Amino acid sequence: MFINRDVAVRDMESILMAAIWFWIPLILVPIGAWLNLSGRSKKGGAALALICFGLVLISSWTVPSSDSTAAGHLLLSILAPSLLMAYGVHGMVFGGNVPVGKLDSSARWSGFLALVISLTIFCLMHWYTLTPLWRNNEVNPYWIVFWPTFLLFATSLCSASALALVGFGDDRLAEAIKLAGLSVVMAGIALSGMLFDGYLTTAEEFSDYIWLSAADIIGTVVGATLAIAAFAIVIWSYEKSLPPPMNSLPPTKDEIKHVVAIAKSHIGGEDE
Amino acid sequence: MREPNASWKLITLAAILPVLVLITINLSIGDGYHPESFKRFGNALLTSYVLMGVILLGNLFFYADSRHRPLAPLVGMLVAIGIGVLISWALVSNDDLLLEANSGLRAQMLSNIVHLLVSIAAMLLAALLAIGATFAMITGRGRRVLFEEEE
């Protein structure tokens, strides 16, 4: 009886700790971002979102007993290559021919280099010792969720972008071929994952997760689309239920006089 | 103005085709269909529906600001989210329909949210790469001379 009570108290404590150090900060990140973007509390919102995001990142140390914190650990592990990728993309875009915020033309090459290095780091995280390790030196369970999803979605988006560029752009075939090439590279990395074992994950496991990632991507996109459709139906049905707006009364003579006076004061100019 | 050569249907096909090709290759070299795929699809669909619904519910506050704060859309959206939660609860607690390797309903729900967080992080990073590369290609070409100045 006492043992059961102790176990229950310990369970409650671990749930409470997980709520305080992981779940509440996770919920507060979008709320902080919303406060920042809506302009209600720009600095406060940004500070709240950043602090809470930091708490989520370090949650595998603050609440090591919670399994959910593996996601925070993964986000921390991929933060550096992701920031490098963002830096690379920024340099490549703004080192080119842009009307505002143009960087030095060398930024294009340094950006490209940063992008290649970040992709190489991601590959090394799969095939070399950089794999994110979690409890008992085992591979982080969410790494094998993140990696195939990233590869599949990047392949898919690059392919769609290439077609959009050649379809909607004017004489953009050369650029579209380069984008299609990037899509093929991403598909090639995914294919290599299916054929060659990683440092801590086998090719078979990766193949299984390709299926699960495809299911994940399609499910997420369909679910979000359904939510947007439900939102549109709610707004549409409410707007439809509103009575048509009343016609306003024609202006009185005094109002017309006032308008004419304003108009006259703005027409004409000084004689030359 | 030039007529576009691509339609949205074609672009959607271009987005789906590489995934289908990879899945087909996977099918030909692997053991075949993964049995947990449907569960993952169902969980991802329901979780993203509910979470996207909650985000859109937040957006309704902006909408309410311009409409004398009506309650009807808020209630409508809450009902829509409630239906999603109910379906999730029913399918996860019913036998083995959507329950993955988790101990119970609560564990599955929390696991779904964390799983979605990781998937969305992966998709956002992929979007950054693809959209960034597209803009880099667009800005990479020198400005074209449209009109020659008269001598």
Q: With an 8 Å Cβ cutoff, are B131 and A157 in contact?
A: yes
Q: Which pLDDT band holds residue B147 (cuts at 50, 70, 90)?
A: low
- CA–CA separation, A140 and A73 (whole Å): 8
Report the percentage of chain B scoring pLDDT > 70.
84
User: Which residues in B lie closer than 8 A to residue A145 (C-beta atoms)?
Assistant: 115, 118-119, 122
Q: Which two tokens stand for residue B150?
A: 């008269």
Helix (H) or strand (E) holding B8: helix B8-29
Distance CA B104, CA B69 (A): 40
Residue A147 touches chain B, beta carbons under 8 Å: yes
Query: Of A88, A194, A233, which has the smallest distance from its Cβ to B26's Cβ?
Result: A194
pLDDT, position A64: 85
Residues in chain A within 8 Å Cβ distance of B131: 157, 161
Contacts of residue B40, defined as CB under 8 A and 6 or more positions apart, other chains included, come to: A212, A215, A216, A219, B100
Does A4 score more than 70 pLDDT?
A: no
If we measure between CA atoms, which residue out of A223, A74, A253 comes closest to residue B40?
A: A223
B32 touches chain A (CB under 8 A): no
pLDDT at site A1: 47
- Using alpha carbons, list the distances in angstroms from residue B111 to A204, B96, B100: 23, 16, 9
pLDDT at A3: 54
Q: How confident is the model at residue B108 (pLDDT cuts 50, 70, 90)?
A: confident
A205 and chain B in contact, CB less than 8 A:
no
Is A142–B33 a contact, with Cβ atoms under 8 angstroms apart?
no
Q: Find the CB nearest A89 among B6, B16, B132.
A: B132
**What average pLDDT score do residues A179-193 get?**
93
Mean pLDDT is lowest, of A83-97, B48-62, B101-115, for B101-115
Helix (H, G, I), strand (E, B) or coil at A139: strand
pLDDT at residue B145 in the model: 65
Q: What is the pLDDT of residue A136?
A: 81
Q: If contacts are CB pairs under 8 Å, which of residues 66-85 in chain B contact chain A?
A: 70, 72-73, 76-77, 80, 84
Cα separation, A72 vs A79, whole angstroms: 10
Mean pLDDT across B72-96: 86
pLDDT band per the 50, 70, 90 thresholds, residue B105: confident
Please indicate whether, in this complex, the C-beta atoms of A97 and B73 are within 8 angstroms of each other.
no
| Residue A38 binned pLDDT confidence (cut-offs 50, 70, 90) | confident
Mutate to test the interface with A, among B139, B141, B145, B146 (most CBs of A within 10 A): B139
pLDDT for the residue A245: 77
- DSSP state letter for A135: G
- Residue B45, pLDDT above cutoff 50: yes
HEC letters along A75-115: HHHHHHHHHHHHHHHHHHHHCCCCCCCCCCCHHHHHHHHHH
Q: Do B44 and A216 touch (CB under 8 A)?
A: yes
Give the separation between CA B36 and CA B57, rounded to whole angstroms: 31
| Global ipTM | 0.86
Chain position carrying tokens 């993309």: A89
Q: Tell me if A220 sits within 8 A of B48, measured CB to CB.
A: yes
For CA atoms A209, A211, A215, A218, the dihedral sign is positive
Secondary structure of residue A267 in the 3-state scheme:
coil
Question: Which residues from chain A sit within 8 angstroms of residue B12, using beta carbons?
Answer: 160
More confident residue, B117 or A136: B117
Q: What does the DSSP 8-state code read for residue B99?
A: -
CA–CA distance, B66 with A260 (Å, rounded to integer): 32
CB-based contact, B128 to chain A, within 8 Å: yes
Q: Where are the domains of chain A?
A: 13-66, 73-241
Which run of H or E residues covers position A24? helix A24-38
Q: How many Å apart are CA B45 and CA A146, to the nearest integer?
A: 17
Query: Do the Cβ atoms of A14 and A65 come closer than 8 Å?
Result: yes
Q: Nearest CA of chain B to the CA of A97: how many Å?
A: 5
Position A143 pLDDT exceeds 80? yes
Give yes or no for B104 touching A (CB within 8 A): no
- Spell out the residues 6+ positions from residue A251 whose beta carbon is closer than 8 angstroms to its own: A259
pLDDT > 70 in chain A, percent: 94
Identity of the residue in A92, A98, A223 whose CB atom sits nearest the CB atom of B132: A92
Which residues on A lie below 8 Å from B2 (Cβ)?
A: 170
Least confident of A20-29, A262-271, B41-50, B131-140: A262-271
Mean pLDDT over all residues of chain B?
83
Mean pLDDT for the stretch of residues A238-254: 85
Domain boundaries, chain B: 35-138
Flag whether residue B86 sits within 8 Å of chain A, measured between CB atoms: no
Q: What share of chain B is helix, strand, coil (3-state, %, to 5)?
A: 70, 0, 30
Q: pLDDT tens for residues A204-227?
A: 888 888 889 999 999 999 999 999
When pLDDT is cut at 50, 70 and 90, the band that residue B1 belongs to is low
Q: Which residue of A115, A196, A238, A239 is the best one to mutate when testing the B interface, meaning the one whose CB has the most B CBs within 10 A?
A: A238
| Shortest CA gap B94–chain A (Å) | 20
Looking at A219-223, A257-261, B37-41, which range is the least confident one?
B37-41
Q: Is A122 exposed, middle or buried (0-12, 13-18, 19+ CB in 10 A)?
A: buried
Own/partner long-range contacts of B87-93 (Cβ < 8 Å, ≥24 apart): B87/B46, B88/B46, B88/B47, B88/B50, B88/B112, B91/B42, B91/B46, B92/B43
In 3D space, the residue among A56, A46, A50, A44 whose CA is nearest the CA of residue A20 turns out to be A56
Query: What was the pLDDT predicted at A66?
Result: 84
Q: In whole angstroms, give the CA distance from residue A166 to residue B7.
A: 11
Give me the mean pLDDT over the B29-37 stretch.
76
